[in-house]
Every structure is written in C-alpha cells, then in structure tokens.
C-alpha cells in the first residue's frame, strides 16, 4: 500500500521531517515552483498537513485539499489554523499542549524579572564600561507587586505556581471562574488591571482576544504598571502600548510576542525601558524536540487508525 501523502506548509524542524519521512510521502510547499499545478495534480492526494509558526493553514489552503483529514500544528497556539474551516469539513486539528508548559512558564518569569530589574539594560551598561564611571541606577522591584494573569490555562497556572514562590499576590481573568484555584477571579479585565501592577498575558490569539489589552486596560494598569506578554501579539493593541510606554502611562513592558512577527515596531526597539524577545518561550532543544515528536505522533497515530493524540477542543475525537 502506498504511504499517505503529507504537505509541509513551511520548512519545519529536521526531527519532524525525519520522523514523517519514515511513514509518509512528504511534499514541501516551499519547494514547489508552480503552486497552481501542484494543487491541481498533487492536492487531491494530500491527506495530512503539518503546519505551525509562519506555516499557516487558512481556509484557502484547506479548500485546495479535498482529501484532507488532519492538520497537525507545531505549537499549542493554533491561531494560524482556520479551525472553523477545518471543523466544517470534519478535518481534525491537533496542537502540542503540555510538553511546553514548564518551558514557557520559566521564560515568562525570566522575562518578568528581566523587565522589573532591567537585567538586559544592566548587562549593556557593564559591557559599555559605564560601571567604571558610576553604579547602575536603582531599579523598581517585584516586592509587594500584585500580578494579574490574563489566561489562567495550562501555562498561566504554571506561571501562577512560580509566582507563589516569589510571594506575589495573584489574580486572573478569563471567560469563566475556575473553582479549583486559590486566586482571585475578575470577570472584567479593566477592573483586574486597575487592581494589579503586573499584567501577565498568556491568552491565545484569534478573533476573540484581538486587542483586548487596549488603551483602557493599559491606563487602568497605571504608571507603576508592567505588561508582560508571552501569549500572542494580537491580544495587545501594539499602537496603544507604544503610546502608553512613550507617555509614561505604564512603567515598562516585557514582550516575547508581537502583532506582526518577525517585524517589531521601530518605536519599541528604540525604547530602553522595555525588554524584547524574539518569540522564544518554548525555544529550548529539549522542548522543541518534544513538540516536534508530538506533531509526528499525532500524524502517525491518525494514519494507523488510532485517532489523534492531542486534538484541539473545536475538533474533538471521538467526533461529537
């Protein structure tokens, strides 16, 4: 029997490519010259897609693949997949939850500490020889700060556990109260922002969260407030954030994600009171390998008839 045919939307880590090659016939969209001819001739045979990061699977792509059964996303956030278009066709979408939770939570705490104590700025100061002239100015502190977590899911809870060890008072906002957590719930994001002085964003992207951290939320966070975003760039209105940072309406920000990655606004790059990371929350060899293996395992399991390992809630398995 011939191997199932899989489409790689973008170049993907070697571990995934090698893992998939053992089981499937791979087609790489990035290496296709004439895409129209490819979709006409090969498209009808494609049964699986591996996507993630810049490799999006939108409705237009899904519509070109009439035999598509499964889209395996590299990443827990799947805002790059048109999950509605997939669900309408009964196509399963999988993501990579849990295996990256601790790594991203570690990075979130690192970014919080780096932002509060200005660790990258202090490093730059030493390297520039300025310590020889005078000590670095005193910084703000994490002591006595309250943290509000926007998106108390798997990663949000792992961040909260780490914040407990730092003696931070913790609150959260999401669409619903969670009865099994000891933290204060806010059903209104502006109210939470007013009561905390660190807003930690770890919510998914997509239409429902687009720009929910807006000017009103940032003003409520206030002049001592710090915004950390490890969720998705689209959750924060980046223009409003730049204005709030420029005008001193919030103190600073630590950002791992941006609205239009990998493009970061020049205004942010020019600011010395922000810490900017190139979307590295899960970016260790250990964790990226685990994510990659889960992409392979989902596709292999599906085509062995054992169902997907980690389907997203919108395309449950067994189907409802």
Residue window 199-218: x/- pattern of binding to ligand NAP, with contact defined by CB under 6 A: ---xxxx--xx---------
Closest Cα partner for 103 from 287, 319, 229?
Answer: 287
Annotated catalytic, 261?
Answer: yes
- Count the residues of the shown chain that bind ligand NAP, applying the rule CB under 6 A: 28
- Which residue is it, tokens 């409802």? 320
Residue window 122-161: x/- pattern of binding to ligand NAP, with contact defined by CB under 6 A: -----------------------------xxxxxx-----
Please tell me which residue in 27, 162, 194, 279 is annotated as part of the active site. 279
Q: Which does 110 bind (CB under 5 to 8 A by kind): ligand 8YV, ligand NAP, none?
A: none
By CB under 6 A, tell whether 281 contacts ligand 8YV: yes
Cα–Cα–Cα angle for 236, 314, 183, rounded to 5 degrees: 55
- What's the min distance (Å) between Cβ of 105 and ligand NAP? 9
Residue window 170-199: x/- pattern of binding to ligand NAP, with contact defined by CB under 6 A: ----xxx-----------------------
Q: What are phi and psi of 108, to 5 degrees?
A: -60, -45
Q: Which is nearer to ligand NAP, 46 or 83 (CB)?
A: 83
Please tell me which residue in 232, 238, 259, 288 is annotated as part of the active site. 232
Strand partners, 255: 229, 276
HEC string of the chain equals: CCCCEEEECCCCCHHHHHHHHCCCEEEEHHHCCCHHHHHHHCHHHEEEEEEECCECECHHHHHCCCCCCEEEECCCCCCCECHHHHHHCCCEEECCCCCCHHHHHHHHHHHHHHHHCCHHHHHHHHHCCHHHCCCCCCCCCCCCCEEEEECCCHHHHHHHHHHHHCCCEEEEECCCCCCCCCCEEECCHHHHHHHCCEEEECCCCCHHHCCCECHHHHHHHCCCCEEEECCCHHHECHHHHHHHHHHCCCCEEEECCCCECCECCHHHHHCCCEEECCCCCCCCHHHHHHHHHHHHHHHHHHHCCCCCCCECCCCCCCCC
Give the separation between CA 281 and CA 24, rounded to whole angstroms: 30
By CB under 6 A, tell whether 19 contacts ligand 8YV: no
By CB under 6 A, tell whether 77 contacts ligand 8YV: yes
Candidate residues 52, 153, 292, 308; the one interacting with ligand 8YV per rule CB under 6 A: 52
- What's the min distance (Å) between Cβ of 107 and ligand NAP? 7
Annotated catalytic, 279?
Answer: yes
Candidate residues 4, 19, 75, 292; the one interacting with ligand 8YV per rule CB under 6 A: 75
Annotated catalytic, 117?
Answer: no
Of all residues in this chain, which one has the CB nearest to ligand NAP in the complex? 153
Residue window 179-198: x/- pattern of binding to ligand 8YV, with contact defined by CB under 6 A: --------------------
By CB under 6 A, tell whether 231 contacts ligand 8YV: no
By CB under 6 A, tell whether 254 contacts ligand 8YV: no
By CB under 6 A, tell whether 282 contacts ligand NAP: yes
Interface with ligand NAP (CB under 6 A): 76-77, 97, 100, 104, 151-156, 174-176, 202-205, 208-209, 230-232, 256-257, 279, 281-282
Interface with ligand 8YV (CB under 6 A): 52-53, 74-77, 100, 279, 281-282
């Amino acid at each position: 029997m011939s191997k199932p045919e899989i489409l790689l939307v973008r170049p993907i880590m070697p571990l995934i490519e090698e893992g998939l090659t053992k089981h499937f016939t791979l087609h790489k969209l990035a290496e296709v010259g004439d895409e129209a001819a490819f979709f006409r001739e090969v498209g009808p045979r494609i049964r699986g897609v591996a996507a993630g990061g810049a490799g999006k699977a939108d409705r237009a792509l899904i519509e070109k693949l009439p035999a598509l059964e499964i889209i395996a996303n590299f990443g827990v956030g799947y805002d790059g997949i048109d999950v509605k278009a997939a669900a309408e066709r009964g196509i399963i979408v999988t993501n990579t939850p849990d295996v990256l939770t601790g790594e991203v939570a570690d990075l979130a705490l690192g970014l919080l500490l780096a932002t509060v104590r200005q660790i990258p700025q202090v490093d730059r100061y030493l390297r520039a020889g300025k310590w020889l002239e005078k000590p670095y100015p005193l910084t703000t502190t994490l002591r006595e700060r309250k943290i509000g977590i926007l998106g108390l899911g798997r990663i949000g809870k792992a961040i909260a556990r780490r914040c407990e060890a730092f003696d931070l008072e913790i609150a959260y906002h999401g669409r619903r109260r969670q009865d099994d957590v000891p933290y204060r719930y806010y059903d209104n994001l502006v109210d939470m922002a007013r009561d905390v002085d660190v807003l930690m964003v770890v919510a998914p992207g997509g239409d429902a969260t687009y720009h929910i951290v807006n000017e009103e939320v940032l003003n409520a966070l206030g002049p001592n407030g710090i915004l950390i975003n490890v969720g998705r760039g689209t959750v924060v209105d980046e223009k409003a954030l730049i204005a709030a940072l420029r005008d001193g309406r919030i103190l600073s920000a630590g950002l791992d994600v941006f609205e239009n990655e990998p493009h970061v606004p020049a205004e942010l790059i020019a600011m010395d009171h922000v810490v900017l990371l190139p979307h590295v929350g899960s970016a260790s060899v250990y964790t990226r390998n685990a994510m990659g293996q889960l992409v392979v395992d989902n596709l292999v399991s599906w085509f062995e008839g054992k169902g997907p390992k980690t389907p997203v809630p919108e395309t449950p398995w067994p189907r409802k």
